[in-house]
Structure 1
Amino acid sequence: MAYKTIIAVLDSPKTALQVTRFASALARQYDAHVIGLHAERLATVPIVAPMEIPDPVSVQALQDMAREETKETEAAFRSHAQSEGISHEWRSFVTGAGFNSQAIIDSARSVDLVIAVQTNPDDRSEHRADLETFLFESGRPVIMIPYVQKEPQPIKRVLIAWNGSREAARATFDALPLLKSADQVEIFSVDPVDMGSQSAELAGAEIAATLARHGVKATLATDITNGVPASSVIENRLSDSSIDLLVMGAYSHSRLWELLFGGVTRAVMESMTAPTLLSR
């Protein structure tokens, strides 16, 4: 198994090169094809009070601005992809639904991997909210890049946040190509409990045995929260072990963006320190 088709989600000129660099690095590693995906949202119609008449001049100005951003984003993507000599294509959609357009979601569902950048805490726009929703509606594994990480780094040390859930299992197997090429893989369980098949001390042993048959040598580690949020325990482990990639299941409890990231997932996503592969 390898990643052969990768979507780079290019939502703005500010992050286009950052995401393209990361996607290009994986494309070279797996001889993959990269699709630069952009959504140009139709301008919201401004209303002129008191007659509530749409202002065509303002509408055109907003649309011209969006079109210029699309051109800048495409130029950044194509220039870098061509300089790296990777197989690539550009897809841009003009839609009132933004990244929630069905055509965009359909494009994502036909690839191996989606790559996007973490939301900047200073940018909680409706556009970004659409992007977050799209990532989890795509049904594909998503690698989120910390917005502060401008250059890709080799993925040599991987941490799997393991709790035995369906989402964690899917994320682990979605990450298999990266696990097989890593130097170190750790299966990390927070507050594990005794189960009929294994004790808390051996949490993750069964998935480790399965990974070993794929040639992945994984170690086991556990920790307890002692009143500290589980997300903080995971973040401390990432920092202490100099982790290059976190693998974890993602949870969705509501269609509203504010509730998309439930519990640990949401907390990790808001303060992520390493690229994170999520599946649900």
Structure 2
Amino acid sequence: MKTILFNALGDPCNAGRLDAVLDIARAFEAHVTLLHSVPFEASVAIDPYAATFAALAPVWQDEANRVRDKIIADLGNEDVPWNWVETVGPTARALLKESALQDLIVVGARDPQAIDAGPSFTAGELAVTADCPVLVLPENASRFDASAPVLVAWDGSAEASHALKAAVPFLRQAKDVYLAVVKEASKGEKPHDLPPLGGADYLSRHGISSQLVEIDPREHVVAEAIRTAAEIRHAGLIVMGAYGRTRLSERIFGGTTRDMLADVRIPLLLTN
């Protein structure tokens, strides 16, 4: 993993996320591309509200300049190679376009501009459309310990398998790797596409040892059971497949994916 794309914002939590990204870059000797998207496009000139957008454009550009200057100043004494990209339009679309030659996208768990406190539109959109894995950092993120234990949500599906393979660089550095299997409550539920040991066998061929953990979700929703299992094991990262698709601005996630994005307490690595 040598190229990392970071969603650079001007919110108070951005500095902590940037420190976490720099930790990741150092751990993998990677280059960081910092992208800041200005929410204005010349194409809105045909819109009846074009005058409003035109009036806001200088404000948005001033904010973009402020964000850029602060981040560049913060990076002045860092030992990580980086470059700055400024674009216009929706953030998720800009990140998706820029991600074609990136190994990892890093975003926050909340969209600062969002009216509600729901899951990040940007994180959700990228999780089900990007070709590379998406790392979602908690709001209070400040560092990233690449050696911390990692918990992988494993159900043997194609999505979980893609996530496991994409996470190999992280799993190589983790001191412990746990494959968390959700206990099936009834015979009527869909069986695992691959047996639980399939994931462990795959990792062993990459020189990575792992432990199987069975999660019983009877007292919690599956997402909360996964988070609890990760917290008990002091995991620094949760890995899982992203289930869902996009339809215009509406995101339709699998229930567990959405629940995980609704409360990101531990960095979450998603792969579609």
TM normalised by structure 1 equals 0.82
Give me the whole-angstrom Cα distance separating, in 2, the residues matched to 1:107 and 1:122.
21
Give me the whole-angstrom Cα distance separating, in 1, the residues matched to 2:139 and 2:211.
29
User: How far 1:139 moved relative to its partner?
Assistant: 1.7
- SS of structure 1 residue aligned to 2:33: strand
Give me the whole-angstrom Cα distance separating, in 1, the residues matched to 2:87 and 2:77.
25
Does the CA contact (< 8 Å) of 1:111 and 1:140 recur in 2? yes
User: How far 1:209 moved relative to its partner?
Assistant: 1.7
**In the alignment, what sits opposite 2:93?**
100
User: How far 1:258 moved relative to its partner?
Assistant: 4.8
User: How far 1:84 moved relative to its partner?
Assistant: 1.2
Change (3 A) 1:188 1:88: same
**In the alignment, what sits opposite 2:136?**
144
After superposition, the C-alpha distances for 1:3-25 in whole angstroms (9 at most, x for unaligned) are 10100111434343233212211
Instruction: Please point out which of 32, 35, 59 is paired with 2:33.
Output: 35
Instruction: Please point out which of 215, 228, 231 is paired with 1:236.
Output: 228
Gaps of 5+ in 2: none
Give me the whole-angstrom Cα distance separating, in 2, the residues matched to 1:38 and 1:121.
13
- The number of aligned residues is 264
User: How far 1:248 moved relative to its partner?
Assistant: 0.3
- SS of structure 1 residue aligned to 2:135: strand
**In the alignment, what sits opposite 1:49?**
none
Q: Which residues of 2 match residues 77-88 of structure 1 at below 5 A? A: 77-88=71-82
- SS of structure 2 residue aligned to 1:260: strand
User: How far 1:240 moved relative to its partner?
Assistant: 1.5
TM normalised by structure 2 equals 0.84
Give me the whole-angstrom Cα distance separating, in 1, the residues matched to 2:50 and 2:205.
64
Higher relative contact order (CA 8 A, sep 6+): 2
The amino acid across from 2:259 in the alignment is: A
Give me the whole-angstrom Cα distance separating, in 2, the residues matched to 1:55 and 1:105.
26
- SS of structure 1 residue aligned to 2:101: coil
The amino acid across from 1:133 in the alignment is: E
Does the CA contact (< 8 Å) of 1:34 and 1:87 recur in 2? yes
Range with bigger deviation, 27-36 or 143-152: 143-152
Range with bigger deviation, 160-169 or 104-113: 104-113
Runs (4+) of structure 1 moved beyond 4 Å?
43-46, 52-56, 58-61, 192-195
Change (3 A) 1:74 1:247: same
Give me the whole-angstrom Cα distance separating, in 2, the residues matched to 1:264 and 1:257.
20
User: How far 1:279 moved relative to its partner?
Assistant: 0.0
